[in-house]
Amino acid sequence: MPLIQEIDYGTPIRKSDKIATLTIDGQSVSVPAGTSVMAAAMVLGTKIPKLCATDSLEPFGSCRLCLVEIEGRRGTPASCTTPVEEGMVVHTQTPRLADLRRGVMELYISDHPLDCLTCSANGDCELQDMAGAVGLREVRYGYEGQNHLKAPKDESNPYFTFEDSKCIVCSRCVRACEEVQGTFALTIQGRGFDSRVSPGGLDFFGSECVSCGACVQACPTATLNEKSVITLGTPERSVVTTCAYCGVGCSFKAEMKGNMVVRMVPYKDGKANEGHSCVKGRFAWGYATHKDRITKPMIREKITDPWREVSWNEALTRAASEFKRIQARYGRNSIGGITSSRCTNEETFLVQKLVRAGFGNNNVDTCARVCHSPTGYGLKATLGTSAGTQDFASVAEADVIVVIGANPTDGHPVFASRMKRRLREGARLIVIDPRRIDLVRSPHVEADYHLPLKPGTNVAMINAIAHVIVTEGLINEDYVRERCDLDDFEVWARFIADERHSPEAVEDLTGVPAADVRGAARLYGKAQNSAIYYGLGVTEHSQGSTMVMGMANLAMATGNIGRQGVGVNPLRGQNNVQGSCDMGSFPHEFSGYRHVSDDATRQMFETFWGVALDNEPGLRIPNMLDEAVSGSFKGLYIQGEDIAQSDPDTQHVTAGLMAMECVVIQDIFLNETAKYAHVFLPGSSFLEKDGTFTNAERRINRVRKVMPPLSGMADWEVTIAFAKALGFEMSYEHPGQIMEEIARLTPSFAGVSYEKLEKLGSIQWPCNDAAPFGTPTMHVDRFVRGKGKFMITEFVPTEERTGPRFPLILTTGRILTQYNVGAQTRRTANSLWHEEDVLEIHPFDAENRGIMEGDLVALESRSGDIALRARISERMQPGVVYTTFHHAKTGANVITTDYSDWATNCPEYKVTAVQVRKTNRPSDWQARFFEENATLKQIGTRLDAAQ
């Protein structure tokens, strides 16, 4: 496929019920009122010359190149800032306009380097194109006198350069940073001839720039250009695919030379991102070809032995024979599998099928349970479906936005940019989080209320907010009467109206002033449209499921479900968390969230797969590890997960892995879990895959292969080969056939096909006969379960308590430049921004312990201890500390406990009682880690030499 050239209308096509018809160069065109003359001309295919205009930004009118003549109007107005009018007659090509445009272009070129043949943007430069479009053949002014031709180049950013000498000060980069990203990191410094783009007087790396790439995308010259393009040259072809990082699910054009990625360009037609991106998706894709990639199968007898490269056949035969041996000796339930939220829907579906039909049990689990299983449980109980209620675009109609236990600017930055745009337009904001996240106060955004509750008191907080709604008459009675179960509502309303749930009664418990809780509740309850967005700070608690039900109760009581601008919306952490849940990765559910004990559902799968299936739920990951330690669980197939780093209580996890007789890892790198593996099957990156991901808004997006798998087989092909070695045949020639099977067996996917995805671009499930084009907003006329069900949400304090030995509470989270366990991002230049995990601690707690900025501190819990650097930060409240978990060497989960959500076993990562003290050495666990990795490095060096 050649390079995909997307249409740039110059300015946005406006949305309006009123249509204006005008004539441009003798052709009639009708467009929505408010649309610019420039965009109307482009609808006809008439390209008016432009430099400062692009349709991702509001009109600016500075370059004076897009001049037109309008009959009955004096002068030559800029077409980008002139809205259409009914009956308007426009001329875009006249001798007068040609002279004016050439004159403008002469001024630009007179202060611009003429190194087009060696310029990195040669052939991809709008300035070059416009010079040709206006017929510029000479510059009469010469190149003497004052100019900017020797302006310095800023190469501080690892991904792009800023070449000031080529800047035409069109302000597109500044406006993109403001309007699209919302960071306001760039500005125009100076006046007149001295006007220059500046990242706040600093270099790009040291500035507030978040490297989202919006400025690079907007730049019409080589001023801002990717270093990969400078090195590799202009790309030759494009493939549209989907980012494999967070749950936003951004669409990108992978621009290629042969099988080499030159750059990833955000796709304007991507419904989730609409042409925007973040530093990870835009730039951090180099891990896919990193030297650490394992591309050949390996086996070993014992985990203390070095790895030995073997053929695919030998590796698969070894894994299959070991699993057969284990089942013959220890029983059918002695083995299991783990699916990945980073793999495609099709790959995940195959792994759970292999476990159920090939292993003969339901011992399958996924990392999605470790983060968002309370979402599925809580929303299914109250609303009837295990997913969020809205599409991302819905936030543009919210009047009040509540962010609970989420940090969108770090975890979901492209959605955060949408949200910030709405906040700049006047929406109100409530942040409920123990930490002062960026959204509390950042450029042109400030929360009306920040409720910094103590970790572990979410349910008490949501009950207090609901108490105000109920006792102050803010219930939407008509909505509740029409849409909800009234008996359940009345029981809930009596429960929540009890004085013990009042903001005053729980003030000491939550640590939040009652007046602030009441103010926030009134703001939410009185707004026309109020929307809740939440993250792992809600779900990763012992009462995660209860809290999800509490938020659903609140939204139903105020009528904030079933239309745009409202809803209860989980921000999923990984690219396919939603999809891995949808595909039946839990031990108790088939795809579509149907219980394995349901006879009709199970019989449908048995008929299609041709095998008898177990009707009893299988083991979750914690149960597998427990039984491994006790001696009854002996074999595990893990596709694309690193439970030794990501799961809680690391020492228990590793004890379980060490007790198994055959651990099979399928991944792209030798991760922490691979230290305990006996067979390693090389995986494939998202650039080597065909399939689909499902994002946090239930949007199914195509993932398209842009280069062949480095190991020779894609992940879905490996699983099929493993199944065949076990004696279970799965015959597919393309992932599209797997999706056909998913659609046939899963009601919410019944109308999904690759053909329809190609036609529509993406689809939000449910997609079936009732909704053939998908469902952007759920529960519009009725809830999926029929009547909305209010659930009693009694607050039960976590068993994890602070005390004299462990007086502080640790909570964990993510940072913008790193992703999850860091296996991908740590192998990119993103580590320049975050090279190690640090401990954020409030100045009061630091001073009491004699801790200074940058000190090495020991962080200890009842599970273990680690050492990391301290960062003194008033983002924290006294008594609470915070760290990320992106670096394996830190071992953050060594200290998290085995407490978990009462309904789903989702680990309680967000509440761990700890002590912090100064130290001068790494922990014993970290010392072992460094020793083991030194050994692995030596083995890797020997393997490289052998190759």
Q: What pLDDT, in 10s, does the model give residues 690-711?
A: 999 999 999 999 999 999 999 9
Comma-separated ranges of CATH 3.40.228.10 domains in the chain: 390-570
Q: Which pLDDT band holds residue 905 (cuts at 50, 70, 90)?
A: confident
Tell me which fold the domain 298-367+576-694+708-729+738-748 belongs to. Rossmann fold (3.40.50)
- Name the residue with higher pLDDT: 691 or 369: 691
Contact 455, 435 (CB under 8 A): no
Residue 860 pLDDT greater than 50, yes or no: yes
Residues 525-531, mean pLDDT to the nearest whole number = 97
Q: Which of 393, 407, 777, 373 is nearest to 560 (CA)?
A: 777
Strands, DSSP E only, in 487-546? 530-534
Report the pLDDT value the prediction gives residue 892, as an integer from 0 to 100.
84
CATH topology for 19-93 is: Ubiquitin-like (UB roll) (3.10.20)
Is the per-residue pLDDT at 217 higher than 50?
yes
Cα distance between residue 206 and residue 185, in whole Å = 11
Which residue intervals of the chain bear CATH 3.10.20.740? 19-93
- Residue 1's pLDDT band, with cuts at 50, 70 and 90, is low
Structure tokens at 171: 């302000």
**The predicted structure's pLDDT at residue 943:** 47
Q: Residue 944 pLDDT > 70, yes or no?
A: no
Q: Which residues contact 483 (CB under 8 A, 6 or more apart)?
A: 556, 559, 562, 782, 783, 787, 788
* Residue 264, beta-bridge partner list: 254
Q: What is the pLDDT of residue 938?
A: 57
- pLDDT bin (cut points 50, 70, 90) of residue 857 is very high
- Average pLDDT, integer, range 105-112: 91
SS3 of residue 768 by DSSP: strand
Q: Which of 435-444, 539-548, 926-935 has the lowest mean pLDDT?
A: 926-935
pLDDT at 748 over 70: yes
Residues 164 and 223 sit within 8 Å (Cβ to Cβ): yes
**Quick check: 81 pLDDT over 60?**
yes
Tell me the β-bridge partners of 226: 160
Domain 126-289 has CATH 3.30.830.10: no
Whether 81 and 61 have beta carbons less than 8 Å apart is answered as yes
Query: What pLDDT score was predicted for residue 937?
Result: 55
Q: DSSP assignment, residue 921? A: S
- At the fourth CATH level, the homologous superfamily of domain 390-570 is Dimethylsulfoxide Reductase, domain 2 (3.40.228.10)
Would the pTM count as exceeding 0.85? yes
Average pLDDT for residues 276-297, to the nearest whole number? Answer: 96
Rounded to 5 degrees, φ, ψ at 624 are -60, -45
| Per-residue pLDDT band at 497 (split at 50, 70, 90) | very high
pLDDT value of residue 936: 52
The CATH 2.40.40.20 domain(s) of the chain lie at: 808-936
Residue 649 pLDDT > 90, yes or no? no
3-class DSSP assignment, residue 214: helix
Average pLDDT across the chain, whole number: 94
Q: Does the pLDDT at position 13 exceed 90?
A: yes
Using CA atoms, how far apart are residues 330 and 910, in angstroms rounded to an integer?
37
Q: Model confidence over 389-432: pLDDT tens digits? A: 999 999 999 999 999 999 999 999 999 999 999 999 999 999 99
pLDDT tens digits for 715-734?
999 999 999 999 999 999 99
DSSP structural state of residue 687:
G
DSSP, res 252: E
* Percent with pLDDT over 90 in the chain: 86
Spatial strand order of the sheet with 530-534 comes to 449-451, 428-432, 400-404, 530-534, 567-570
pLDDT tier, 483 (very low <50, low <70, confident <90, very high otherwise):
very high
Fold of 808-936: Barwin-like endoglucanases (2.40.40)
Q: In this predicted structure, what is the pLDDT of residue 873?
A: 95
- In this prediction, residue 369 carries a pLDDT of 79
DSSP letters for 844-882: HHHHHTT--TT-EEEEE-SS-EEEEEEEE-TTSPTTEEE
743-750 contacts at long range (C-beta below 8 A, 24 or more positions apart): 744/608, 745/590, 745/591, 745/592, 745/604, 745/605, 745/608, 746/582, 746/591, 746/592, 747/592, 748/582, 748/592, 749/582, 749/591, 749/592, 749/700
> Does 563 score more than 70 pLDDT?
yes
On the question of pLDDT at 5 being above 60, the answer is yes
47-51 average pLDDT score: 96
DSSP string for 283-319: HTTGGGG-TT---S-EE-SSTTSPPEE--HHHHHHHH
Reference 822, options 886, 888, 894, 893; nearest CA is 886
Least confident of 506-520, 743-757, 824-838, 896-910: 896-910
